[in-house]
Chains A and B, each alone.
Chain A
């Protein structure tokens, strides 16, 4: 099966799906390859833009503040790249970066507003959702079901952390203590925090429960009602105004479930940020796939880009391989959004770090060649630090149009663009910038592709 399309997107996480949707909306016929599950589906489901500068300890108040700092200090950061387009004057660089990111954020919010995963929060400030550890982290957008309402403003609020028996991912007592200690230190509400454990038996199971099993169970009325009835005893007992639960509110009906629980409990129920495999991550993934397909894009799930043909400085085609079939897909342009090590866009061994499909030049976070670096040498002695592990800032370096470049600084192919975590120059775990970079770079790459395709189709 061989066919032609305007744009082939390789990678089906946030960057690839946003790029694909934007391109389709711009009128390009778009096909997207997704090899397996994306890192987006493993994420907490919150969309970070920028929380911290690397090595810094004070979070940014807003994405705008963070982007201004990034633009000044890290001109090659993926966020900074949009500021160096041909038509941008030096005085406009910072504003361009900020306005592009804001446009992308607004675009995402608007597109997801009608899906199962509407987002809250906006570009004007960072917010601090609570995690299943009881810690908080700065982020820009969270799913509506994760929204804690007036919990931290209302002097009268009482928060109940509700865990579930047989579900080991969330320890409500430990989270409650951690969170309360923080609030006491800050001398801010809520002043009262409690915890409890309830029983739920998704599909008859009482042990080894997973987020996804419980979420599916709560998508059914009986599951939700039983959950609510048990929770009610506890909320009434402690007089809870807010209830924090692990991210399990449903895969399909999470938003409606949140409303229903509020009615039944007279308390505001919200989901904590959780660890993979994560229900909100999966919801976000499914919602993004939904908008891409609705826009007219085609997905080929289970297909992996295996090889390519390059002719006259442009990529002609890519061979997409599935377990039982293969397709040679020729396209006018290609977007590489294959992710980092989890996604499989990069690999590393004792000989260095490599891009897996095209063999593109890889660089470190400080833009030295990563072709020969030993991954273990690109790490810190400390496991978890604000400096992060440098190996996770390696990847591709791109021109202002998001085209990967070679050593001489020119693009590797005229029609190959890249977006998302395959890019070098940022460490999303410490910056708290993962899905934001994916979104903005995917959005920007698609705009550039659209211009490019129009140009070559003339």
Chain B
């Protein structure tokens, strides 16, 4: 059993956990981040990436103010991974427009600081000109703008920045116990290293529990109680940019849902169902898919023409307010000091919160940790850029210099900012690494090699989160085996492990593809089965493949 000592151990590598690790490390704390799977592999990995202006939460003006300020902060530190998306909310009747237009005022209050125009009312003609797929029979619509961040890159960059400031980040390390002394003070964490199979231990007086939908289980290890309202949200992902403007409207049951262009696809979401299921085995249901599609049929009559390439489902760890619909639960967060609530000294947990709040949540929790450790360094996470945001990137010049086409470079820039140059430099010795491996995105071999060397992936799925590998219309049909070969080469994997990586990746893609199998996707998957089962004979492979949580049962 290895043992080491830290000022703080952060549990969970989602948006909040990575933000906490970054903040703690920047304030000079010896920081360890433990993540049971990979960075951004749970809740944040299934979100749309909207860093919301808070428009939906105008019943809570403080939250709206905080959201807006955090959008400004995120734009300051990570503008390279943020896109501004125009949004339309179409109305079919005056009743829908509403007697009160307080949303216009609420939005206008903070528009200037975010550098967006105030909300505009548009005629049907003007709206259809902006988004031709919109039903022209609408009465009116409002136009506003929201920001979307690449949630995977945000978490990765926060983790990388934490490491740059001395933090140790360990993925595939699952906390299995928290040790406390007789007085109930935290002494350390025990974790299972899923890669090496070893049980390891880290000594620490303080722990930040940012385990998202598992936070109550982590608290239990220390004998502390934490209540959450776990709520499932599912998305449907369409194979192309069905719309180029986001549409936000009321679903069949009057909840707000959206259809937003996202990278090379379109996201349709979300649902909200209270859940008690294992978050690892959760998938979208047929009802959720139909609910989303049917809610949009009137506004975008052609919505069913697009191919559904997959679904994704995640769990929101909401503040435990009950006897109200999910939409009415506060979007605020709570930082819980278990010293006050359970007499467990040194353990701090989160409930609630939104992606947009991850940095401020981390600031709050780190302030509390600093107080506990009697340290005084102030938070700088809203000032210092995340890696890659140090400067502008001239795609045109880089394309000329390195001979990589601009489309690939623009996509790479949106993931990496200034870091792009380090990747392109690899192609000086290896010009063949300019070859496109994932043609949907597209991703060149050099970026895959760079990510393997610099961003500690263990599997192809980890590479997907870092690169968007296999996330496009073919869902990895054509890049799985190519990327597996590169991973095998860089990590010197055995032949069996090369095949296991292919099977793992197909399993994870299938998890999302399966619930929405219909239309052209049946042909796409027939091709994938033809390649990996019929030709590759991998259905008959005797490699050591571990059944995934969502594959258990029959």
Q: Give chain A's interface residues, CB within 8 Å of chain B.
A: 39, 42-44, 48, 52, 57, 59, 131-138, 165-171, 173-174, 177-182, 206-209, 273-276, 340-342, 344, 346-350, 374-377, 379, 381-386, 388-389, 391-392, 428-430, 432, 434
A-contact 0/1 string along B34-67, CB 8 Å cutoff: 0000000000000000000000000000000000
A389 with B529: in contact, given A174-B495, A350-B518, A376-B516 (CB under 8 Å)? yes
Which chain B residue has the least Cβ–Cβ distance from A381? B551
- How far, in Å, is B429 (CB) from chain A's closest CB? 13
Contact in complex: A171, B514 (CB < 8 Å): no
**Told that A348-B518, A376-B515 touch, could you supply 14 new A-B pairs with CB distance under 8 A?**
A42-B530, A131-B537, A135-B538, A166-B435, A171-B488, A177-B488, A276-B530, A350-B518, A376-B518, A377-B286, A381-B551, A383-B510, A388-B539, A428-B534
Interface residues of B in 236-255 (CB under 8 A from A): none
Please tell me if B197 contacts chain A, counting CB pairs below 8 Å. Answer: no
A168 with B522: in contact, given A134-B495, A273-B535, A379-B514 (CB under 8 Å)? no
A181 with B495: in contact, given A136-B537, A206-B432 (CB under 8 Å)? yes
Which of A138, A174, A428 contacts B498, CB < 8 Å? A174
Contact in complex: A430, B539 (CB < 8 Å): yes
Contact in complex: A383, B495 (CB < 8 Å): no
Residues of chain A within 8 A of B437, CB atoms compared: 168
Contact in complex: A276, B531 (CB < 8 Å): yes
A-contact 0/1 string along B517-550, CB 8 Å cutoff: 1110011011101111111111111000001001
Which of B488, B509, B525, B541 contacts A173, CB < 8 Å? B488
Give Cα distance in the complex from A381 to B281, angstroms.
Answer: 11
Give Cα distance in the complex from A57 to B493, angstroms.
Answer: 26
Residues of chain B within 8 A of A138, CB atoms compared: 537
Please tell me if B486 contacts chain A, counting CB pairs below 8 Å. Answer: yes
Give Cα distance in the complex from A350 to B292, angstroms.
Answer: 14
Which of A52, A274, A381 contacts B550, CB < 8 Å? A381
A275 with B531: in contact, given A174-B485, A382-B507 (CB under 8 Å)? yes
Please tell me if B481 contacts chain A, counting CB pairs below 8 Å. Answer: yes
Contact in complex: B435, A168 (CB < 8 Å): yes
Select the residue from A132, A174, A206, A391 with max chain B CB neighbours within 10 A: A174
- How far, in Å, is B79 (CB) from chain A's closest CB? 31
Contact in complex: A275, B481 (CB < 8 Å): yes
Contact in complex: B495, A391 (CB < 8 Å): no
Which chain A residue has the least Cβ–Cβ distance from B534? A429
Contact in complex: B530, A429 (CB < 8 Å): yes
Contact in complex: B535, A391 (CB < 8 Å): no
Contact in complex: B527, A276 (CB < 8 Å): yes
Please tell me if B503 contacts chain A, counting CB pairs below 8 Å. Answer: yes
Please tell me if B482 contacts chain A, counting CB pairs below 8 Å. Answer: yes
Which of B530, B536, B540 contacts A52, CB < 8 Å? B540
Which chain B residue has the least Cβ–Cβ distance from A389? B529
Closest 4 interchain pairs by CB?
A: A171-B485, A178-B495, A383-B510, A137-B537
Residues of chain A within 8 A of B515, CB atoms compared: 376
Residues of chain A within 8 A of B526, CB atoms compared: 340-342, 392, 429
Contact in complex: B522, A348 (CB < 8 Å): yes
Residues of chain B within 8 A of A348, CB atoms compared: 517-519, 522
Which chain B residue has the least Cβ–Cβ distance from A182? B495
Residues of chain B within 8 A of A384, CB atoms compared: 503, 506-507, 529, 532-533, 538-539
Residues of chain B within 8 A of A42, CB atoms compared: 527, 530
Which chain B residue has the least Cβ–Cβ distance from A48? B534
Contact in complex: A207, B434 (CB < 8 Å): yes
Report the tally of A-B residue pairs with Cβ distances under 8 A. 182
Give Cα distance in the complex from A430 to B503, angstroms.
Answer: 15
- How far, in Å, is B370 (CB) from chain A's closest CB? 46
Give Cα distance in the complex from A430 to B536, angstroms.
Answer: 11
A135 with B539: in contact, given A171-B482, A177-B494, A275-B481 (CB under 8 Å)? no
Contact in complex: A347, B519 (CB < 8 Å): yes
Contact in complex: B519, A349 (CB < 8 Å): yes
Interface residues of B in 405-432 (CB under 8 A from A): 431-432
Residues of chain B within 8 A of A44, CB atoms compared: 534-535
Give Cα distance in the complex from A57 to B537, angstroms.
Answer: 11
Q: 10 pairs across A/B with beta carbons < 8 Å?
A: A134-B498, A135-B537, A138-B537, A171-B488, A177-B498, A207-B434, A377-B286, A381-B552, A384-B507, A434-B534
Residues of chain A within 8 A of B129, CB atoms compared: none
A-contact 0/1 string along B462-485, CB 8 Å cutoff: 000000000000000010011011
Contact in complex: B484, A174 (CB < 8 Å): yes
Which of A207, A388, A391 contacts B522, CB < 8 Å? A391
Residues of chain B within 8 A of A350, CB atoms compared: 286, 290, 518
Residues of chain A within 8 A of B523, CB atoms compared: 341-342, 344
Give Cα distance in the complex from A181 to B432, angstroms.
Answer: 28
A-contact 0/1 string along B71-99, CB 8 Å cutoff: 00000000000000000000000000000
Residues of chain A within 8 A of B532, CB atoms compared: 384
Contact in complex: B529, A137 (CB < 8 Å): no
Please tell me if B499 contacts chain A, counting CB pairs below 8 Å. Answer: yes
Residues of chain B within 8 A of A209, CB atoms compared: 435
Contact in complex: A376, B517 (CB < 8 Å): yes
Residues of chain A within 8 A of B517, CB atoms compared: 348, 375-376, 379, 391
Contact in complex: A131, B535 (CB < 8 Å): yes
Contact in complex: A131, B540 (CB < 8 Å): no
Residues of chain B within 8 A of A344, CB atoms compared: 523
Residues of chain B within 8 A of A340, CB atoms compared: 526
Which chain B residue has the least Cβ–Cβ distance from A340? B526
- How far, in Å, is B498 (CB) from chain A's closest CB? 5
- How far, in Å, is B334 (CB) from chain A's closest CB? 37
Interface residues of B in 180-194 (CB under 8 A from A): none
Contact in complex: B514, A376 (CB < 8 Å): yes
Residues of chain A within 8 A of B530, CB atoms compared: 39, 42-43, 276, 342, 428-429, 434
Give Cα distance in the complex from A342 to B523, angstroms.
Answer: 5
Contact in complex: B553, A381 (CB < 8 Å): yes
Select the residue from B434, B445, B516, B522 with max chain A CB neighbours within 10 A: B522
- How far, in Å, is B61 (CB) from chain A's closest CB? 42
Which chain A residue has the least Cβ–Cβ distance from B485? A171
Give Cα distance in the complex from A429 to B514, angstroms.
Answer: 17
- How far, in Å, is A38 (CB) from chain B's closest CB? 13
Give Cα distance in the complex from A225 to B263, angstroms.
Answer: 44
- How far, in Å, is B125 (CB) from chain A's closest CB? 33
